Amino acid sequence: MVLWATLQILLLTTEAILRGLVQNLCKTSSGLIKDLLIIDAVVALPGGCGTLDELIEAITWKRLGIFTKPVVIINTNGFYDPLQEMLERCVSQNFMDKRHLEMWSIVEDPTEVLLKIKNTDDWNRDALNFARNE
């Protein structure tokens, strides 16, 4: 657990405490870009359009191979069900490859986040090349 005590997590919400391990971060878009280069994971709690914007930006950077760390979405009370359906629709209509569904993980309970981060492999830095080959 000492390793996880130093884990840097970008929390995409305006107000949240995840079991006392992460702090509330409010970032501008340029700040998010800088943070994506140094953090160990992105964790998204339910939120508004700013949260959605930053979450999709992180997924986009992951798709391009710029950001390779875990993206974990906390789907409290099914909040992110419509987003999950939309991303799956992107695959079914051939806007994304089925492999892209592996870029994020969805958990129902915040207590699952650290284990999900620990058990998620880094995304392939060569992702841009397979994105081009779709």
pLDDT digits (tens, 9 = 90+) for 77-92: 999 999 999 999 999 9
DSSP labels, the chain: -HHHHT--EEEESSS--STTS-------HHHHHHHHTT-SEEEE-S--HHHHHHHHHHHHHHHTTS--S-EEEE-GGGTTHHHHHHHHHHHHTTSS-GGGGGG-EEESSGGGHHHHHHTPPPPPTTHHHHHHT-
Q: Which of 45, 49, 5 is nearest to 25 (CA)?
A: 45
Is 106 a residue whose pLDDT tops 70?
yes
- Asked if 40 contacts 117 with a C-beta cutoff of 8 angstroms, the reply is yes
Pick the residue with more confidence: 97 or 12?
A: 97
What is the second-level CATH architecture of the domain 27-132? 3-Layer(aba) Sandwich (3.40)
Q: What is the structure's pLDDT at 16?
A: 41
The residue that leads in pLDDT, 80 or 8, is: 80
| CA distance between the termini of the chain | 40
Quick count: other Cβ atoms within 10 Å of Cβ 109? 9
C-alpha dist (Å) from residue 69 to 72, 92, 118: 10, 25, 10
The domains of the chain are located at 27-132
Q: What is the mean pLDDT of residues 50-55?
A: 90
The yes-or-no verdict on residue 30 having pLDDT over 80 is no
Q: How many CB atoms lie within 10 A of CB 125?
A: 12
